[in-house]
Structure 1
């Protein structure tokens, strides 16, 4: 059994083949769950706890959360028995921390966020103990950085962006310290890049547009180093392309459209290059299409309608083909919704209200079909709000002022459940527009002032607010 859930599992894990252990999981779990903890020797308790963690990993990978929790809870009992016996060394702390981490992740999966926070705080406590035992050990620093990142992700999910940001900053500092000792550790470099991204997302929720942009640039620089070290590794090229896409989008929000288009073009070029190696990769195909739509949005705002339409048609054609293959993805229909929105905006700008309404209705229909699943997601809320607000402008232009105001009020109602709507510029933009459209500009005057102060200068937003 030790071989099956230990050495053999270690060989299967990198291959993504832990499901091959599924047949022994139930029998092993029944055996270990019936062990008498009090009569089990200290060393055996530790070994059994490690085995139970692997069994939990297998169970979680196949969606059996109850089995995973049973294994983790038994592992916790075994390790706490060692602690009670005065055996709380680095190995016990590391394994107990891992148990708390996975218990926390399952609680997150199940929406039990307060329980998840308790478990992740316990995980952090164990990593602090590892650092107290061996303060010069980079592995202990890295484990503590993981604990702080995990807590930060959870707190951000709970809407506590400031606390999350502080944890991400602590995690980054620890990873940078570890990289000082292990400068060629590529896995650590990649994890540092991830941490820059998480801190950037927290800063965005706090309304710090320039800090958000700078942090994504730090992520991009870290990924550029990794790509330089391994130029043929598609994983770095893909992640760098996504970083360039994000940076381009943020530059556009600051009115820096030429820089934005340049960054997005680099992103598309990177995706195109790796697709030459693996042309059937649907994720890369999807991201290339979505990046093209982001570029098209900027082209529309700068009056380059024909170039925008070419981008939109190419992206939409690719997304339609992808949807025929992958009907489960929500990212593909979201991309199609953006395509219809942009076509509606172009038609609106050209005075073709009939086409504008048809395309806006298509966009709204797609987003409404997934809205319940993403009711608290800021990006989906923003996308739906922008579509509804464009519809309101179409109605107003057609002389249906009352219907336009009603639609703006519905948009306000939808956004009212989204946290950070007066600080996170991604959601503050449609929040401002909806209130102005509904005839209540005074209630968002302070948000307009805030957006100006942080340098938010999206072309369409600025034109709307200053009309």
Structure 2
């Protein structure tokens, strides 16, 4: 390997060249190299790269774009000239990047070919044939220079570390690069690193055991020596703070989850062994907060039973503190937050009764605190969250009136919270959620004008927040969600141009998010869902080719997602919805056999889901739609009638939200399919009164020669609502 240039002439240990699509890898590598400490037994050795230093900093990572002229910027050229090594993050994006290629050429022209190293993060090196699109090595890196000119024609074999699955892994890949930069043997560096890591783990484990031992001894001494209890209690709490804070963080860094759990368990045992008497209020508050933290960690790990034990232990401490100081808002809110955590754990465990009880208890505590801190914005925000949670419990139970009352209370609080105060994105987003909740209950109740108005209000809020911070992908995802909801509702009221535009906007934004972070499955799922739903609208408006392309995209994404996690019910339902839409397209094209196969595949997914979640509205609607499709395709008339009767019974058994126009439209389809026009007539009347004009219903009624004029009163309501929303 070539000797490195003189250290005194250089400023940077290395220059990292990468495509902007590999920014996350560049940030990881930059942080890993600059924070890496060379094992002390290697520091000071002389190698071909110079004297081994204690640290590798500084490392240059360019954040600018390539100049429009096609030349590297002055700062980048200067940094390359002052860098002892070049590290290229290799991927198909890097191979296609002019920016990366120019940086490699500039460095090679300095005569430092031997100081170039690669980190392969995706694709294949030296790909050939059909795999050429997967080539990850930039052309300027693969081909040697002809003198000082452009690359020649012979393949090169650059030294590379590889983080792809089944290769080096992130830790070994980083060590390989470190070894190359310092001109050390990789095995030598790895052995030294392993020795250091083992020493660190041993020290941390010993420290954890020592802390647990000291804590236990302090607990025993506190019982024996009353006069020394307060002093020793403070020492114990400080040790526990260290165990749950710094020590847990250090153990997480070295992936010693077993010791972390042992530390948390020991802390739990310690807290539960101490009586709440003869201890200062400050120490008790500290204990409650620590127990709440333990519960949150366990909940994040999916250990719901252990999380519940921690939250309940925290409540046993925080409850008496709150009762003893009813005029202390901080104690009241701390106790209410713990009760809300218990309620959320009940919800996740499927116990709706317990969840509602704890949410309502939390609200009572907060309302008691309001008498002493009526204008406290954080207290008001907590109350809006409790309103939201209680509303969801009522909604899950089919009690839509009670749910709507909670959502209206939430809206009133949120409106007061954001009025006259500095902008707070979290509060404003909560206001949007309140409008969305009310839109959902209005739709299920059959009030389409109110639903559209609420969704439009949420859309305006989410769009404004996204414009304020365009880089906030979570907020952009909220905007995508409500835009799609608004598009579907626009189609329901017969505003086809607006519905198509809004659905297309939602799909375009979801596609952009998926490109920004392809690993984020929620973005991919939205692309698949909105592709399927837009395909339905395209089909119903006569664009069968456009609908076909969209549903194929949806099926491709959902198929990949369900292979990744077959137990994900949302993805299974989405796949079934896409198959049902493909069946409708096949039926429209006269391909009954294909349609029959897709409907059968959809029901194979939907029937088990409906059995597990009989009150889930989306699953019910999708199942009823697929069964009516199957009835339309069945040539056996008695069998077709039986399918329609069973579907009608399923729809009529719904205990709440029976005015949902989507349910009524499916009932109309079933009744007309059985020739029961007299029974369908009052249902059609309810749909007309609600203003429902979905293209599928209009097509069905035209086929049955049933008059269905526009509803001028409903259209006037929509126009008035639009005027009120104008700025």
Q: TM-score range by the shorter chain?
A: 0.7 to 0.9
Q: CA deviation at 1:216?
A: 1.3
**1:215 Cα shift?**
1.4
Q: Which has the higher helix share?
A: 1
1:432 and 2:718 are equivalent in the alignment: no
The C-alpha deviation readout for 1:113-158, integer Å capped at 9, x for no partner, is 4443343233223323432363233233222222222232233333
1:135 matched to which residue of 2? 422
3-state SS, counterpart of residue 709 of structure 2 = helix
Q: Is the contact made by 1:103 and 1:119 (CA closer than 8 Å) also made in structure 2?
A: yes
Structure 1 residues 211 and 90: CA distance shift in structure 2, 3 A: same
8 Å Cα contact 1:59/1:65 also seen in 2 = yes
Aligned mates of 1:208, 1:175 — CA distance in 2: 22
Residue matched to 2:630: 340
CA shift, 1:272, in A, is 3.0
Cα deviation, residue 386, structure 1 = 2.5
SS at match of 2:612: coil
Instruction: Summarize the Cα distance change of 1:387–1:123 in structure 2 as closer, same or farther, 3 Å threshold.
Output: closer
Q: Determine the structure 2 residue equivalent to 1:454.
A: none
The offset of 1:367, in angstroms, is 1.1
Could you tell me which of 70, 76, 87 is aligned with 2:357?
Answer: 70
What's 2:651 paired with?
371
CA distance in structure 2 between the aligned counterparts of 1:129 and 1:448, rounded to whole angstroms: 36
Per-residue deviation, 1:250: 0.7
1:102 to partner: Cα distance: 2.0
Give the CA deviation at 1:422.
4.8
**Counterpart for residue 597 of structure 2:** 313
The alpha-carbon distance between structure 1 residues 79 and 220, as it changes in their structure 2 partners (threshold 3 A), is: same
Partner of 2:499: 212
Deviations 1:353-383, CA, capped at 9 Å, x for gaps: xx24145225314414522344544444434
Match of 1:222 in 2: 509
Q: Which 5+ residue runs of structure 2 have no aligned equivalent?
A: 1-286, 714-727
Structure 1 residue 245: Cα displacement: 0.6
Q: Helix, strand or coil: the match of 1:183?
A: coil
Find the partner of 1:390 among 670, 673, 681: 673
Aligned partner of 1:8 among 294, 304, 316: 294
Structure number with greater Rg is: 2
Q: How does 1:172-321 map to 2 (within 5 A)?
A: 172-278=459-565, 284-285=571-572, 287-302=574-589, 304-305=590-591, 308-317=592-601, 319-320=603-604
Secondary structure of the residue aligned to 1:85 is: coil
In structure 1, the gaps of 5 or more residues are 345-354, 393-406, 451-467
Query: Which residue of 2 is the match for residue 347 of structure 1?
Result: none
**1:334 to partner: Cα distance:** 3.7
Residue 17 of structure 1 and its aligned partner are, at CA, apart by: 4.5
Secondary structure at the aligned position of 1:446 is classed as: coil
- Give the deviation of 1:230 after TM superposition: 1.5
Deviations 1:205-255 (A, max 9, x none): 433222222211121112101110122333322221110110010111112
Structure-1 residue corresponding to 2:307: 21
Give the structure 1 partner of residue 330 of structure 2: 43
The question of whether the paired residues in 2 share the 8 Å contact of 1:159 and 1:419 is answered with no
Cα-Cα RMSD: 3.6
CA distance in 1 between counterparts of 2:404 and 2:448 reads: 15
**Superposed displacement of residue 287, structure 1:** 3.6
C-alpha contact (below 8 Å) 1:205/1:420 kept by paired residues: no
Distance in structure 2 (CA, Å) of the matches to 1:86 and 1:100: 19
Q: Distance in 1 between matches of 2:398 and 2:639?
A: 36
What residue number does 2:449 align with? 162
**Cα drift, residue 328 of structure 1:** 3.3
Aligned to 2:413: 126
- Among residues 341, 357, 378, which one is paired with 2:637 in the alignment? 357
Compared with structure 1, are the counterparts of its residues 229 and 359 closer, same or farther at alpha carbon in structure 2 (3 Å cutoff)?
Answer: farther
Three-state SS of the structure 2 residue aligned to 1:36 is helix
Residues 118 and 30 of structure 1: CA distance in aligned 2, closer, same or farther (over 3 Å): farther
Cα 1:187–1:380 change in 2 (3 A) is: same
